[in-house]
Structure 1
Amino acid sequence: MALQNSAGEDTAMRRRRMRYRAWHRGTREMDLILGPYADAHIEGLPEAELDRLEKLMNEEDTDLLKWIMGQEPVPGDVDAELLAVLARFNDARLAGI
């Protein structure tokens, strides 16, 4: 099921809001994982992928970090595939530093 956009929110505004939210999570660690991913990919994501990312971004930072770092198993109701994409992106980005 697709998430509902705010009333009348267009895709460009949604992308800007999500990019801002990716960089201003509340924990610096998740800012540094989600922010660069959003910068690199958000403009090319179709609506369904934006929905997936937005749903994942609704999870708590502490949980996201544990799942991405492989410190805890990913619950069945969380998008493990997208978490794996984020982890690979982060690993590749760090390897290039």
Structure 2
Amino acid sequence: MAGSDLGMRRRRALWRATHRGSKEMDFLLGRYAEAALDGMNSNDISIFERLIDTPDPAIEMSLFEGQSLGDRDLDELVRLVRRFHGLEQAG
């Protein structure tokens, strides 16, 4: 049962990431979700769910200007999304 719950959370997170309402966020979060969700554990998905609960303007400031979201886990996830899209150099 736990595996099917995790699968449902992955599918729901993917849908939410690709249906945010703005094409830019749909693309940036959706493409990352498509590539990364299958490898995420329950804790990772919880962090991603918190990110997709964050308003678009705050995510945009974090992605494009490096502004902190005030949460270390979310900031690390944003760093991974930025790197995925080539907005930040690895290292």
TM range (shorter): 0.7 to 0.9
CA distance in 1, matches of 2:68, 2:21: 21
4+ runs of 1 displaced by more than 6 Å?
A: none
Shift of 1:31: 0.6
- Equivalent residues in 2 for 1:26-45, closer than 5 Å: 26-45=21-40
Structure 2 residue aligned with 1:74: 68
- Equivalent residues in 2 for 1:3-82, closer than 5 Å: 10-70=5-65, 73-77=67-71, 79-82=74-77
Structure 2 residue aligned with 1:6: none
Query: Structure 1: which 5+ runs fail to align?
Result: 1-8, 93-97
Return the TM-score normalized by structure 2: 0.82
1:75–1:15: structure 2 CA closer, same or farther, 3 Å change rule? closer
Number of equivalent positions:
83
Query: Structure 2: which 5+ runs fail to align?
Result: none
CA distance in 1, matches of 2:70, 2:27: 25
Shift of 1:62: 1.4
CA distance in 2, matches of 1:51, 1:31: 19
Identity of aligned residues (%): 35
Q: CA RMSD in A?
A: 1.7
Specify the structure having the higher radius of gyration (Cα). 1
